[in-house]
Structure 1
């Protein structure tokens, strides 16, 4: 049996270093978890906001459509000018454009949410494309001293 009398603090230093590294990794994990939670929360809020804008824009389109019909009827009897009709048509067009933008924002927010939660993959979306297999790539390049291993089977 051998027992070192003097270790110059190497063992205790290694233990302290290992504990510090473990603590640092734990803090990094907590930071990443918080970042992911925030990104999911933001993506969900963007989706809800876009959905609410769609409802509001649909109501605006309906209101402007009714207003345009009223202005046209008033124009026929002479109480509104052609400019009033054109203004009402422009307001209807603007509200339709706003609706389309809100629908686009909702689609973007939905895809952003899928991306953040890890569901925006070819496999999850059942896309008819060749899917990347990381284990196959790893096996292909593992222990290669020459060449890239890319395209070599």
Structure 2
């Protein structure tokens, strides 16, 4: 599992002023999906119940000493009590447990996050280049993950029936 490192620019006299943060930047180490290049992803406040900035603030509040100084800045964001990065298998187990508790069985795993992320990006932007870059896809394989939302297909059958396919 890759290490997720975080940068917060809101500091004053050694105190993190995270409650005013409107953005969080996640640094992803290079890997096979992005030609081994480091990547940064900026996420902003959503104003919704699920918000990446609020989630990070909650994490900081829970582990205040960890983030109060730069001494652990190079450490994985998600780690075990012994300080090791959380492994992919642990994430898979948590996802499977959560799926079972929600009544969704089957093959939910860590790859489901990639699948869902690609579909959500596609639904939001309808731009394959955004999906590819933001999802750090090295190939066009992500196309097999894309699912359109229901609204995308509204009027599709009617449009297909009206299509003029006569040779010109």
TM-score range relative to shorter protein:
under 0.3
TM-score of the superposed pair, with normalisation by structure 2: 0.18
More helix by share: 1
More strand by share: 2
- Higher relative contact order by CA 8 Å / sep ≥ 6: 1 or 2? 1
